[in-house]
Amino acid sequence: MAGGAMERAVRSAVRRGLGGARQVGRDVAGVTLAIAYAQALDGVEVCEHCGRGAGAGDVGKLGPQLLAALDALGLTPRARAAATSAGGRPAAPAPAAETPLQKLRREHAERAG
């Protein structure tokens, strides 16, 4: 399981950030996705000087996707900051997005008021 530099970095972050097997097990889909993105990025051959080469466009697509996967796992500074409040306790979960049906009902109730 040597892997490329990006894959090794992601696996190390998962080990340190998620800790025990129980946590990794809960997040296995996200971990697997992050590792797949890292493997894909390791396979891209890009010139160190000009940034061009076979698959160079993939870096622009895969990089943000890998970052989003790591963010969802709480493995980036931004994700860790968002997960804790000023007092160091976990922040309240974000409210669920309003569905289109809920929006219509709310608007109807406001008009009927």
Q: Stretch 99-112: mean pLDDT, rounded?
A: 88
| CA–CA dist 90, 19 (Å, integer) | 17
| CA–CA dist 27, 75 (Å, integer) | 12
Give the tokens for residue 50. 């000009």
Give the tokens for residue 17. 């950030």
CA distance to 60, 95, 100, per residue, from 17 (Å): 25, 25, 36
pLDDT tens-digit profile of 11-55?
888 888 877 656 667 788 888 888 888 888 888 776 666 666 656
pLDDT at 86: 47
pTM of the complete model: 0.59
| CA–CA dist 2, 12 (Å, integer) | 12
| CA–CA dist 6, 63 (Å, integer) | 11
Query: Residue 33's closest CA among 64, 6, 69, 59?
Result: 69
pLDDT tens-digit profile of 70-80?
888 888 888 87
